[in-house]
Amino acid sequence: MRMWTVIIIQILCCLLMAGQALSAEDWYWKGDGQVLLKNYSDNAQAESLYGVGVFLSADYLERSGLAVGYNYNHTNYKSGLVNMPYAIDENLLFLSGRVNYYPDYLPGRLGLRLDGYIGNDEIFSRTTTTAPGSPMGGGSTQQITKVNDKFMVVNPVVSFLNYSKTCYVGLGYAYSSYHSNDTGIDDVDIRQWSPALGFGFNRSYDWLQIRAYLISRSNSNRSGGNDATSALEAKWTHWFSADGLLDLDNIRLAILAGESIYAVDSDAYSLSNIPDVKTGMVSVGAEWKLNEGLNVLFQGGYEAYEDLLLNERYNSTYIYFYVSRNL
C-alpha cells in the first residue's frame, strides 16, 4: 500500500502543477469508442458476448496525462439451463494517471502510471423450487435470482523508453479483488506481475513486445486448479509508409501461450474477468489513419480456455472495432 500511495501522490502533484502552470492550449484531448462481439464454441454454458466502451484522455505533450473510461459487457448463456446463469451484465469504470520524467542520468524517459478499475458483474439465474410434499417435482416454480459480484483492480506500471524509441522496459503489478454478495466463499484476491520488453527495428517501421503474466490467487474455489499460472505474450506491429497497402497505417499480430487467469492487460486497458484459464490466443488487426485526428482499428482473434471445475475445454472467436478522434 505504501508504494501505491507514493505513486498516487507523485502523479497527482505533477498533474496539479502542470494544470496550474500551463494554459489549456498545451493539453491534447482525445475521445475513443469501442465495440466487441464474441462467440463461444464447445462451451456448455456461455453462448455469446457483446460490449461497448467509451474513453476520454488528456495529455500534456509527453509529460503527463489522465484518462477515464466506461465499459459495458453483456454475456448470453444457453437457453434451457436450470439453476445456472442465463445472462451477466458487467459495468466497469476506469481511471488512469501518468507522469514521465527525463532524468539526466538516463538516456530516455522514465514513466510512472497508475490504473484503477472498479466494477460489478450482475449474474442472473433461473432457480427451480419445489413445493413441500409435491410428488415427483409437481408444483415446482422458477424464479429469477441475481448475484452481484463486485471487483476492484489497482495496476501501477513503471517503464523506461529510450530517446530513439527502439528499446522499452516495463514492469507492472496488479492487485485484483473479487467479492460476491452471495455466500462469500468464492471471494478471491489475485496478484499479477507483468514484466515486458519491447524493441523497435527496421528503421522504426516494426515493433516487437514480449510480456510475461505471472499470476497467483488466494482462493481457487471459483475456478479450481492451481493457485498460480504463467503465460507469455508476443505482440508485433508494422507501420506502413504514406503509400502503404490499402492505405493502412499499421497491422498487428499477437500470440499468447501458457496459462493465465484474471489477467490485467495494461496495454489494452482491459480485464479478463471469467474464472476460467486462458490457454492460448492469437489475434490480427489493421489500423487506418483517416486523417490527422481520426483513427480506426479492426481486430479479430481466437482464444482457447479451460474450465477446470467442469473439466471442459472451449474456445471463442471475436471481432473488435475501435475508433479514436482528437478533440
The reported pLDDT for the residue numbered 70 is: 95
> In whole angstroms, how far apart are CA 264 and each of 39, 152, 153, 166, 193?
21, 12, 9, 25, 10
pLDDT of residue 253: 98
> How many domains are there within the chain?
1
pLDDT for the residue numbered 6: 47
Q: Residue 306 has what pLDDT?
A: 93
Q: How long, in residues, is the chain? A: 327
Q: Is 107 helix (H, G, I), strand (E, B) or coil?
A: coil
User: What pLDDT does 275 receive?
Assistant: 84
Give the H/E segment covering residue 216: strand 206-217
How confident is the chain (327 residues) per 10-residue block, as mean pLDDT?
Answer: 46 49 71 97 91 94 90 89 79 94 94 95 74 55 74 96 96 92 73 97 96 87 70 97 80 97 92 91 95 92 91 95 94
Taking CA atoms, 48 is separated from 38, 79, 310, 319, in Å, by 6, 12, 19, 12
Is 231 within 8 Å of 256 (Cβ atoms)?
A: yes
pLDDT at 132: 59
Classify residue 176 as exposed, middle or buried by CB count within 10 Å of its CB (0-12, 13-18, 19+).
buried
Domain enclosing residue 319, as ranges: 2-326
Give residue 147's identity as a one-letter amino acid code: V
CATH number where 172 lies:
2.40.160.40
pLDDT computed for residue 140 by the predictor: 60
**Contacting residues for 174 by C-beta, under 8 A, at least 6 apart:** 153, 154, 155, 190, 191, 192, 194, 264, 266
In the 8-state DSSP scheme, what is residue 136? G
Q: What integer pLDDT is reported at residue 5 of this predicted model?
A: 46
